[in-house]
């Protein structure tokens, strides 16, 4: 019984020591690795937009050429004309005009850079808009 206990203690010590003595190696040519982690995000919005006003998101997000941004939203009054879109790095507002109270559309990005989500109320009344943007 005593020999068994000594053997268990000895094996435990060897195991503990072997974990502390592991060799660590750096990855050679790490800068040349071709793996990139891309995080996609969904932002929710719910806001009132005064008449004849463009409202920009407070933050922008980086996009690459060919990426797709999806906008799903509804607004009231339904009869208002509203532009949903992105302000590109060149400062232009790329938008989709909606006149029926809801949007479920995507925009494919044609240039690399930071984009800002924006909504323009073209009507003479205040509107309430709520929805999601996925990028």
Closest alpha carbon to 115 in 130, 96, 94: 94
Q: Measure the CA–CA gap between 122 and 31, rounded to whole angstroms.
A: 49
Work out the pLDDT band at 23, boundaries 50, 70, 90.
very low
Instruction: Give the span between the Cα atoms of 122 and 83, in whole angstroms.
Output: 7
Q: What is the pTM of this model?
A: 0.70
Q: What percent of the chain has pLDDT over 70?
A: 70
Residues contacting 125, CB < 8 A, separation 6+ = 51, 77, 80
| pLDDT confidence band for 25 (50 / 70 / 90) | very low
Are 42 and 134 contacting, i.e. CB atoms less than 8 angstroms apart?
yes
Under CATH, to which class is 42-134 assigned? mainly beta
Residue 13: enclosing H or E segment and its boundaries? helix 2-20
The boundaries of every CATH 2.60.120.380 domain in the chain are 42-134
Task: Say if residue 36's pLDDT is above 50.
Answer: no
Mean pLDDT, residues 75-86 taken together: 97
> Tokens 């990139």 label which residue?
36
Average pLDDT over residues 19-27: 41
How many residues are recorded in the chain?
A: 135
């Amino acid at each position: 019984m005593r020999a068994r206990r000594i053997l268990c203690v000895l094996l435990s010590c060897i195991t503990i020591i072997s974990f502390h003595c592991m060799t660590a190696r750096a990855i050679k040519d790490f800068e040349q690795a071709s793996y990139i982690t891309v995080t996609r995000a969904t932002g929710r919005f719910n806001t009132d937009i005064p008449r004849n006003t463009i409202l920009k998101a407070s933050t922008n997000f980086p996009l690459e050429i060919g990426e797709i941004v999806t906008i799903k939203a509804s607004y009231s009054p339904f009869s208002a004309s509203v532009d949903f879109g992105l302000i590109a790095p060149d400062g232009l507002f790329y938008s989709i005009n909606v006149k029926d109270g809801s949007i479920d559309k995507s925009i494919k990005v044609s240039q690399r850079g930071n984009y800002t989500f924006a909504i323009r109320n073209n009507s003479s009344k205040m509107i309430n808009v709520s929805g999601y943007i996925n990028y």
